[in-house]
Structure 1
Amino acid sequence: MKFAILVTAGPFNRQAAGSALAFARAVLDSEHELVRVFFYSDGVHSANRLAAPANDEHNLVRDWSRLATERGVDLVVCIAAGLRRGVREANLAPGFRISGLGQLVEAGILADRLITFGA
């Protein structure tokens, strides 16, 4: 089965972003395919390489970057949501790319299931 993930929750204020990462890892560790992870709304903060979580917090920005680098996951940040929240090419974490909502639509077409984390 092919999955796409939509992340709308920020990385440090809700459990949803961490759950999205755990789900992505589970998909990759199974016989399923992860088509794309699309970050929208406050979810775009997951792509900000300038984020500095406390030592006792999970660094989801780093963990998403590793997933992209090590497993080849396509991590796409909505350009409009990113610009509104100060996420630009200059501060984009490794493994992420900026694009438009068309990438979310395409992911929904290519995937059997689009799973949303955050509301």
Structure 2
Amino acid sequence: MSDAWLNKINWSDDGLIPVIAQEVDTGKVLMFAWMNRDGLKLTVEKKEAVYWSRSRKKLWHKGEESGHTQKIKAIYLDCDEDVLLLVVEQTGGIACHTGRHHCFFQKLEDGEWVISDPVIKDPEYIYAK
């Protein structure tokens, strides 16, 4: 496959694109992350999400440490061609490094952030080395 499809994307000045991961069965938004060209190419090749870590300045295959990979079911590009939506099957039911099903577990209620979702598995067990 040619890389021409990558040129349609409006990459940011630092070569990244924001990515939303959505669960295939429930439609729930699991997480937000970034990808660069190499990450997107690997995502398509592996059929599993490979993101760019801005803090670590490197690619990370989602689940490489935890085993909670994201199997790609579909990839969509938005109308402005500057945001990706990954429709994924979340292995193990945990997408967040905090051990929760998804990353959006802090809900604003009456001017305060309230934890709205429980920890499914203690991160110390997920990332034990």
TM-score relative to the length of structure 2: 0.28
Higher strand share: 2
- Higher radius of gyration, 1 or 2: 2
